[in-house]
Amino acid sequence: MLFYYYKSTMDIVSFFCKIYKTRPNHILKMRQNKSISQKTFNIKLDSNLAVVQAFAQLNATIIDLEELLAMGLDIINQSFPFDLLAVMHVSEKSGKLTLISYLSEKPNTILEIFKPFTTEVLNSGLAIEQKQISEDGLNYSCLIVPVATGRLVTGVFIIANFHLYSFKPSERELFTIFAEQIMVATTVSKLYIRKQQQQQQEITRRQIATHFQKISSIINSTLNLNDVLRLLLEHLRVIVPYSSALVMLVKGSGLVIQAVAGFDNSLKGEQINVDENVILKEVLLQKYPAVFSDMTKNQFWMADSPKFLSEVRAWIGAPIVVKSKIMGIFTLHHDKPGYFDGADLELIYTFANQAAIGIENALLYQREQNKVKQFQIIHRRLDYEFISIFLYRSQTNSLHLKAASDLSAHEIQELNLTFPLTKPTLVTAVANKQSALLVHDVTSFEPYIPHPIRKRIQSEFSIPLVIKGNLIGVFDVQSVYKHTFSPDDVMLVQTVADQIAVAIETASLFEQRNKRMVELSVFNQIGTDIADMYDLDNVLISILERIKMLYQVEGASLLVLRDGLLHFEIALGMSGQVIRPFTLKANEGFAGWVIQHKRPLRVSNAAEDKRHHKGIDKAINFTTHTLLAVPVQIQGQILGVVEIMNRIDGNHFTQEDEIVLSFIASTIAVTLENARLFKKLTNSTLNEQSACL
């Protein structure tokens, strides 16, 4: 039966017009009416075969089981003068025989007359004919045919007359075939319903996945704790709907309400004694969520909970845990008892684990902001004209001006002041020796280089910023007066420098952590993208856009190897229409080198590299300065190359960048291979279906 091929409504109409030799508008009226009476058709099928063909055609075009059976019984009724037609199925839930479709002038209570015989058919799996059944002075006759698959009887087909009647062999054969088709229709209908349920579940899963993905975006979009918590509660309401919610963070030995939903904001800052609340204490100790159907029936809750929570019915709570450390707890409430269940428990547990990262990041940022304020106070107390911080870059072995008391961030970026450690200056001397240097008169210090802006400098004090023996930068203080630094000043500056070193290291670790989270978010988004095999181009464009965002580069491209040539499949940050016709030989350009050597390539100066194919840059008006290219391969087979060009911050690509991009390239390889297999399978299926037709 061609279940997957649906004809249009007019095709069905045409079919019935041929069989019934009637008008289309009459058939359409029949098709649109689900409560079909025995007078729907005014014509008669001229053979048993026509009846079977008509029902088979309905079976192939109508999914709704009740509608299909109603029309099927009407078809039989127009060809055979039976007084009662009925289809009954055994309910999967109750196990009882349930009426599915019924056609008779008498009410369906009359089926009680045939109940003993239907039970016998269900037990034996064999058709039964009763030529005479006497009830209330009337005679009935019936044929009851099992609806079965193999030996499993799932229902019965009842054909009856309200008088004595003997069924012909041809009729018995016809109704046996009809019962078989009912079984097929039932199976198809169940499959269709199950398919719809699966699709709905998949839609729900995708919606939940989308919100979890948004949570990842929240984690990376803001570091303001209040904003993070507010956004998290908003998205949590979509995943697990609630009447009210609290976010409580650990402070000392208790909890402090940090965010609320469904309550007055005045609750923020209120402290909760964990030792006095058995349920909260247990959730935090177990480090696992708990759900209660009705808190008003929980004696511990009613005795220990704050007054504003006394009316809560359903309650669910999940601890906020990072690296086994308890940071707080989410609690959701509903005014309907039993509202939350085990599925919600798993969802909030997953949510809490993901949200914990964003909360921890926001708390770290908050602490660092407090340190910055402290440094600003110290700077005011030092009262020197110029203070600078240089950071060390191991890739270029140089010091780079990062902050200055007299320059804005934009001015520092425009100045782009860098000192290679090989260049003799006061700050590089301090960096090389990793020891402080105090110069009371800079004119007597030979390596001193006058600052391009600070031309009146007379004395300078530089201190290396070192953590665990590793140089991270230089803290530099300058004055327009000679011999301005007293011993107390030296001690104070040294103390400040030590604190700054710790702060910079912490900020660096925080930045690295944040970068990891961005990478994880990108991996998560790419994982969602590759689930769509129907539009490969959009999937690949989406992946490259995420790569471009992750690395903050000017350009990104994907070259696919076909017939020994590299074709530009996707190009972002450059003219895709112009570059797409270009092809490279498998040994040409940076991409060709990657293909030949089957390993990544990092280029710091493309203009001076002989492997650079400058013709493409010229044609698309794009200048490649730095580049990272990695092979797209699966099981040793090279499918293409991913390239990213020119970091916006001007830095070179690192080995870490190479590792991460290689991981993403392997995902692209899987995507390309899956798309190829999907296309092959689709073509094969279409060919088979064409052959069947």
pLDDT tens sequence across 384-419: 668 888 988 887 889 988 888 777 777 887 788 888
Whether 227 and 157 map to the same domain: the answer is no
Angle (CA) 256-211-289 rounded to 5° is: 45
Q: What's the average model confidence in pLDDT over 158-172?
A: 92
Specify if 521 maps to a domain.
Answer: no
E strands of 136-217, at which residues? 138-149, 152-161
Confidence of residue 16 (pLDDT cuts 50, 70, 90): very low
pLDDT band at 2 (very low <50, low <70, confident <90, very high): very low
The Cβ-side half-sphere exposure at 682, using a 13 Å CA radius, reads 8
Please report how many Cα atoms fall inside a 13 Å half-sphere around the Cα of residue 50, on the Cβ side: 17
Is 213 inside a domain boundary? no
pLDDT for residue 274 is more than 80: yes
Using the 3D structure, point to which of 513, 543, 563 is the last residue of a domain: 513
The top-scoring range by mean pLDDT among 183-192, 197-206, 429-438, 496-505 is 429-438
Question: 252-271: per-residue pLDDT in tens?
Answer: 888 999 999 999 889 999 98
14-28, 232-246, 266-280, 657-671: range with lowest mean pLDDT: 14-28
> What is the rounded CA–CA span in Å between residue 228 and residue 232?
6
Which position has the higher pLDDT, 644 or 413?
Answer: 644
Q: What is the CA radius of gyration of the chain?
A: 39
Report the pLDDT averaged over residues 646-674.
Answer: 84
Q: What is the mean pLDDT of the chain?
A: 78
Boundaries of domain holding 424: 383-513
Number of domains in the chain: 4
Asked whether residue 519 is assigned to any structural domain, the reply reads no
Is residue 56, in this structure, part of any structural domain at all? Answer: yes
Residues 497 and 568 in one domain: no
pLDDT for the residue 84: 95
Query: How far apart (Å, rounded) are the C-alpha atoms in residues 232 and 224?
Result: 12
Alpha carbon 361 to its chain centroid, in Å, reads 22
| pLDDT score at 299 | 79
Of 187 and 334, more confident: 334
Q: Which of 486, 513, 540 is the last residue of a domain?
A: 513
Mean pLDDT of the 284-305 span:
84
Examine the domain organization and report whether 605 and 508 are in the same domain: no
Question: Both 309 and 396 in a single domain?
Answer: no
**Which of 326-330, 341-345, 516-520 is predicted least confidently?**
516-520
Q: Are residues 553 and 578 in the same domain?
A: yes
Q: What's 487's domain CATH number?
A: 3.30.450.40
152 pLDDT tier (thresholds 50, 70, 90): confident
**C-alpha to C-alpha distance for 75 and 51, rounded to whole angstroms:** 7
Asked if 379 and 405 touch (Cβ cutoff 8 Å), the reply is: yes
Q: 110 lies in a domain?
A: yes
pTM of the model: 0.37
32, 128: one domain: yes
Q: What is the mean pLDDT of residues 109-115?
A: 92
Which of 179, 195, 211 delimits the end of a domain?
195
CA distance 328 to 29: 64
